[in-house]
Structure 1
Amino acid sequence: MGTAIGTVLPLAVGVAISPIPIIAAILMLLTPQAGRTATSFAVGWVLGIAAAFAVFVVLADALGLGGGSGGSAAGTTIKVLLGVALLGLAVKQWRGRPAPGEEAAMPGWLQAIDKVTPGKAVGLGFALAAVNPKNLLMIVGAAVAVAQLDVSGATIVVTGIVFTVLAGCTVAVPVIAYFAARERATAWLQELKAWLVANNAAVMAVLLLVIGVVMISKALTAG
């Protein structure tokens, strides 16, 4: 079990350090419906991670990507391709970073975040977790890595829970902090949002580069 958890840990951290979902959660916490929308968003985010991990673990097993020679080779190839895709995203993020003194561009939907209802917040959180290309690549990588270990069903479940908790914590923590100490948390959330907006592209570029290199090197070493 320790091996399985250790295998998915870097990828869980990669999903967790996602500036845009964190910014979205913070913006929701600064709206009149802070409690309802931000909580719904966090629930959708966690459910999206859990659902995507579960689906791709099942698919990896169905495709025979286990520890056998054929499955191991296919799994290794998939992980190398995922790593290369992450490196490509890293380059794209780095090239898209704002120039010094230039204001960072954010997705247009963030401008209307104060109009998001709790129901839509759940869907938005789910989509950002399970459909976002960066997160999807890492979740698929984690699922394939676990499938290759040929571990028991119980180990897969526990690993999935740990992966989901770690990957989802960065969106959940601001929500918890807001309810625990609303006045103090508001100022801290404003500062965190400003930093994330300014450094989103650079943070993502470095993160994707590191995770991509780690994924490729582990795949080739195991292969």
Structure 2
Amino acid sequence: MGDVLGDLLPLALGVAISPVPVIAVILMLLAPKAGATSAGFLGGWVAGIVVATVVFLVLAEVAGLGDGGGPSTAASWIKLVLGLVIVLLGAKQWRGRPREGEEATLPKWMAAIDTFTAMKATGLGFLLSAVNPKNLAMTVAAGVTLGALPAGQAAIGTAVFTVLAASTVAAPVVAYALAAESMAKVLDRLRTRLVQDNAVITAVLLVTIGVMLAGKGIGGVT
């Protein structure tokens, strides 16, 4: 179980250290309907992580990717391929980074965040966590890893993975709920920094995790 949790940690960090959803929830916290939309977004974000992870966990169990309590050769090949895919996603992010003196731009949908209802925010949170290619790769790898465990341990591992993966979106929501006035300026400065460094942060993170995951896969097939 300890080894599996060690494998899950970098994958959870890969989901957690995602500037775009953090920027999105900060924009919601700075908008008029801060409480409802940010809570809805957080709920959707958590639900997306849980659903995607459990789906791939079940598929891994059905496919028999756990062999004698450990990952099978097929599971190791999946990790190797996912690792390489994640490295390529990181390289794409790096190529798209703002050059020196160039201002980073936000996705167009972020301009409408201050008009979102709680329901729309929930849907957006779910999509960003469950369907986003980067996060999908992480949850596939997490599901395959957890699929090698007995049901009880897999449930604990899923809970740990979800808490860690959702922590960076949950933190500003909780902090704002406790001290809204004092957090407003801090969140605005954080948003500005994340917007500018989004591509670089994501690229470095993806390449690092991709290499680690590919290494785990190579270790299992050789």
* TM, length-normalised to structure 2: 0.96
Q: Do the aligned residues in 2 keep the contact of 1:87 with 1:213 (CA within 8 Å)?
A: yes
RMSD of aligned residue pairs (Cα, Å): 1.3
Task: State the 1:145 CA deviation.
Answer: 1.6
Aligned to 1:210: 208
CA distance in 1, matches of 2:73, 2:150: 21
> Which whole-Å CA distance do the structure 1 matches of 2:99 and 2:170 have between them?
31
Paired AA for residue 105 in structure 1:
T
Aligned equivalents of 1:9, 1:87: Cα separation in 2: 17
1:196 maps to 2:194 = yes
8 Å Cα contact 1:41/1:125 also seen in 2: yes
Alignment partners' CA distance in 2, 1:106 and 1:79: 32
Can you give the 5+ residue segments of structure 2 that lack an aligned partner in the other structure? none
1:159-184: per-residue Cα shift (whole Å, max 9, x none)?
00000000001001000010111111
Query: Where in structure 1 are there 5+ consecutive unaligned residues?
Result: none
Q: Which range is displaced more, 39-48 or 213-222?
A: 213-222
1:170 corresponding residue in structure 2 = 168
In the other structure, the counterpart of 1:78 is 78
- The number of equivalent residue pairs is 220
Q: 2:53 aligns to what? A: 53
1:33 partner amino acid:
K
1:219 to 209, 214, 217: 217
Q: Distance in 2 between matches of 1:186 and 1:219?
A: 44
In 1, Cα distance between the equivalents of 2:15 and 2:127?
A: 13
Letter in 1 for 2:78: I
User: Which amino acid in the other structure matches residue 196 of structure 1?
Assistant: L
Moved >4 Å (runs of 4+): none
Distance 1:23 1:151 in 2: 35
Partner of 1:15 in structure 2? Answer: 15
Instruction: Give the stretch that moved more between structures: 24-33 or 74-83.
Output: 74-83
Q: Deviations over 1:22-43 (max 9, x none)?
A: 0000000001100000010001
CA distance in 1, matches of 2:4, 2:82: 19
Deviations 1:35-65 (A, max 9, x none): 0000100010011101111111001111111
Which of residues 174, 178, 181 in structure 2 aligns to 1:180? 178
Aligned partners of 2:146 and 2:158 also within 8 Å: no
1:151 positional shift: 2.1
- Give the partner amino acid of 1:95: R
